[in-house]
């Protein structure tokens, strides 16, 4: 039998110092709840305040460091991530239950962000030279960092998403306080250890651990200039409410989704089935871009439903460390209960069930849940067609015309990710323009974004500050800098200078 490694000793990291370990909460392996991955401290309000103060104190020196030297720290970080890819992926798999292959891909995604930031140090969109009304004047725009960035991240992408936020923030000269999900404190601590090893100065990256109250204390702190958040709509809303007292603050929030794949009647059939399966069930449906609706042309839906259910039945949900499995468990019991409730609700709301695998007994005391797929007509009242489920739960919904498909797609409060499966360039363009989303895909699943593209959504999915490379816009403000090369003063707008 596999012997789990010794539990991680959890600490906070503030002003370049690791705190003494505390075991306020245990972090468990969702594939085997008896396995403790580590024990961690819950940061107190004083510890949160100290982390913000440390970031504030480190800000002036970091801001004055050349942008290229700041970026070079990311080159060292990239080397360390390459060195530790296997260990990072294994720790992540044990901690959040994603399959090892997915965890590897996520470490690579984090590495790509780090590499992007390193390159951007020399060639980023730093500012521009702008024309002036006055010939003797040169005008420039220039980005400046805001100051202290709070990085509040979810468990489902516990390595890449923090790097999407820490990377642009630190590159631009901000300092950070990182508050990861309480489901994934170990991989977060490991990431901060790598930042330290890469030579980021004391106070530039601080780590506080714990659940909601720790996040609240952090967001309430007026010393935080920017909050970067990915997670649920409810928490995003709470962050906005707490930030309303600070209108000078920027909040970049990525929230829920009710994503969909649209399968047109001219779709390549096998590709459409694969795109649906990957969108619905990869990561056990626990990506914010996972699709819980597949909107299928009525002429295809019987055949599609059969092929989809047959394929889904064959997927293996099992030990995350066994790379041959398709996907792992749900992150915790709460996640299982929530999806089971939605499965029951779908039946109550009139779903024609195609596949209901239910809870899976895999031997270990784990949170395993198999796929649930059903057919249901679109309608305004069925909650299962409108609310985010976050698990292996998917509806197949028929449509007749492209206009109807776009209407069904848009009929949710969210607008994060969508895919259309078609061979027609006219249709691609129609859905590109008519659907509300942040990430759109053609002949691909609704998952799988790359870091140099903006990652965000509209409606209740985001507040207009996409993540990854695009986050540079949220963690900097643009300044105007105007220089007179003449020997007297000439003003724009014809303003007279006679005194």
Nearer to ligand UN1, 287 or 465 (CB): 287
Nearer to ligand UN1, 287 or 460 (CB): 287
Query: Minimum CB separation from ligand UN1 for residue 286, in Å?
Result: 8
Alpha helices in 179-287 (DSSP H): 185-198, 212-220, 233-243, 269-281
Scan for tokens 């797609």, then name that residue: 409
447 makes contact with ligand UN1 (CB under 6 A): yes
List the one residue from 52, 289, 331, 336 that touches ligand UN1 (CB under 6 A).
289
List the one residue from 40, 116, 157, 281 that touches ligand UN1 (CB under 6 A).
157
> Sign of torsion, CA 342 344 347 353?
positive
Comparing CA positions, the residue from 231, 256, 248 lying closest to residue 179 is 231
Number of residues that make up the chain: 499
CB 93 within 8 A of CB 30: no
Query: Minimum CB separation from ligand UN1 for residue 441, in Å?
Result: 10
Q: Candidates 20-28, 64-72, 73-81, 283-291 — which segment interacts with ligand UN1 by CB under 6 A?
A: 283-291
Contacting residues for 361 by C-beta, under 8 A, at least 6 apart: 368
288 makes contact with ligand UN1 (CB under 6 A): yes
Q: Candidates 233-241, 284-292, 363-371, 419-427 — which segment interacts with ligand UN1 by CB under 6 A?
A: 284-292
Contacting residues for 228 by C-beta, under 8 A, at least 6 apart: 149, 150, 151, 152, 165, 169, 252, 467, 471, 474, 475
Q: Rounded to an integer, what distance in angstroms lies between the CA atom of residue 292 and that of residue 386? A: 9
Nearer to ligand UN1, 225 or 279 (CB): 279
165 makes contact with ligand UN1 (CB under 6 A): no
92 makes contact with ligand UN1 (CB under 6 A): no
Contacting residues for 1 by C-beta, under 8 A, at least 6 apart: none
Contacting residues for 299 by C-beta, under 8 A, at least 6 apart: 265
List the one residue from 152, 242, 369, 449 that touches ligand UN1 (CB under 6 A).
449
109 makes contact with ligand UN1 (CB under 6 A): yes
For residue 359 the two structure tokens come to 């809870």
> Sign of torsion, CA 439 192 153 315?
positive
254 is catalytic: yes
Q: Candidates 34-42, 286-294, 315-323, 422-430 — which segment interacts with ligand UN1 by CB under 6 A?
A: 286-294
Neighbours of 446 (CB within 10 A): 32
SS3 at position 388: coil
Comparing CA positions, the residue from 373, 361, 307, 303 lying closest to residue 329 is 361
Query: Minimum CB separation from ligand UN1 for residue 447, in Å?
Result: 4
Alpha helices in 221-368 (DSSP H): 233-243, 269-281, 301-314, 333-348
Query: Minimum CB separation from ligand UN1 for residue 380, in Å?
Result: 27
Nearer to ligand UN1, 223 or 448 (CB): 448
List the one residue from 99, 156, 175, 204 that touches ligand UN1 (CB under 6 A).
156
419 makes contact with ligand UN1 (CB under 6 A): no
For residue 483 the two structure tokens come to 């220089």
362 makes contact with ligand UN1 (CB under 6 A): no
Q: Candidates 1-9, 285-293, 384-392, 404-412 — which segment interacts with ligand UN1 by CB under 6 A?
A: 285-293
Q: Candidates 43-51, 189-197, 441-449, 475-483 — which segment interacts with ligand UN1 by CB under 6 A?
A: 441-449
Q: Rounded to an integer, what distance in angstroms lies between the CA atom of residue 196 and that of residue 202? A: 8
287 makes contact with ligand UN1 (CB under 6 A): yes
254, 298, 337, 404: which one is catalytic?
254
252 makes contact with ligand UN1 (CB under 6 A): no
Comparing CA positions, the residue from 256, 182, 189, 183 lying closest to residue 214 is 182
Q: From residue 217 to residue 246, what is the string marking binding to ligand UN1 with x (rule CB under 6 A)?
A: -------------x----------------
Nearer to ligand UN1, 207 or 439 (CB): 439
Nearer to ligand UN1, 289 or 354 (CB): 289
Scan for tokens 């505390």, then name that residue: 22
Binding site for ligand UN1 (CB under 6 A): 109, 156-157, 230, 287-289, 447-449
Please list the active-site residues. 254
């Amino acid at each position: 039998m596999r012997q789990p490694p010794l539990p991680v000793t959890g600490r906070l990291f503030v002003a370049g110092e690791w705190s003494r370990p505390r075991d306020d909460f245990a972090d468990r392996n969702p594939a085997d709840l008896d396995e403790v991955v580590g024990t961690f401290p819950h940061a107190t309000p004083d510890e949160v305040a100290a982390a913000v103060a440390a970031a504030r104190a480190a800000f002036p020196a970091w801001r004055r460091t050349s942008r290229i030297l700041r970026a070079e720290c990311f080159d060292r970080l990239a080397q360390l991530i390459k060195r530790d890819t296997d260990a990072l992926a294994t720790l992540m798999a044990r901690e959040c239950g994603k399959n090892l292959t997915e965890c590897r891909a996520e470490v690579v995604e984090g590495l790509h962000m780090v590499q992007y930031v390193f390159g951007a140090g020399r060639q980023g969109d730093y500012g521009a030279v702008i024309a002036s009304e006055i010939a003797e004047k040169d005008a420039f725009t220039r980005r400046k960092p805001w100051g202290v960035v709070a990085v509040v991240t979810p468990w489902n992408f516990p390595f890449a998403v923090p790097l999407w936020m820490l990377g642009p923030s630190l590159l631009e000269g901000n300092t950070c306080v990182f508050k990861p999900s309480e489901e994934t404190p170990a991989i977060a601590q490991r990431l901060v250890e790598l930042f330290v090893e890469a030579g980021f100065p004391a106070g530039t990256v601080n780590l506080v651990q714990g659940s909601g109250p720790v996040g609240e204390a952090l967001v309430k702190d007026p010393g935080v200039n920017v909050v970067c958040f990915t997670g649920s709509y409810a928490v995003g809303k709470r962050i906005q409410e707490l930030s309303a007292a600070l209108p000078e603050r920027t909040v970049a929030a990525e929230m829920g989704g009710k994503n969909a794949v649209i399968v047109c009647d001219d779709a390549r059939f096998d590709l459409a089935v694969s795109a649906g399966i990957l969108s619905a069930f990869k990561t056990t449906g626990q990506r914010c871009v996972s699709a819980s609706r597949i909107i299928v042309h009525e002429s295809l839906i019987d055949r599609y439903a059969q092929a989809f259910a047959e394929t889904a039945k064959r997927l293996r949900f099992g030990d995350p460390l066994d790379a041959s499995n398709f996907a792992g468990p749900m992150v915790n019991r709460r996640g299982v209960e929530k999806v089971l409730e939605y499965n029951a609700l779908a039946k109550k709301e009139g779903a024609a069930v195609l596949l209901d695998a239910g809870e899976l007994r895999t031997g270990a005391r784990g949170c395993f849940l198999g796929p649930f797929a059903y057919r249901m007509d679109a309608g305004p009242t069925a909650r299962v067609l409108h609310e985010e489920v976050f698990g292996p739960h998917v509806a197949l919904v028929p449509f007749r015309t492209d206009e109807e498909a776009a209407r069904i797609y848009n009929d949710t409060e969210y607008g994060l990710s969508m895919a259309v499966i078609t061979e027609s360039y006219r249709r691609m363009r129609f859905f590109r323009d008519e659907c509300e989303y942040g990430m759109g895909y053609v002949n691909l699943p609704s998952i799988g974004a790359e870091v140099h593209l903006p990652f965000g959504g509209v409606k209740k999915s985001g507040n207009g500050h996409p993540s990854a490379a695009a986050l540079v816009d949220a963690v900097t403000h643009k300044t105007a800098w105007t220089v007179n090369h003449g020997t007297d003063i000439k003003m724009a707008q014809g303003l007279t200078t006679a005194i």
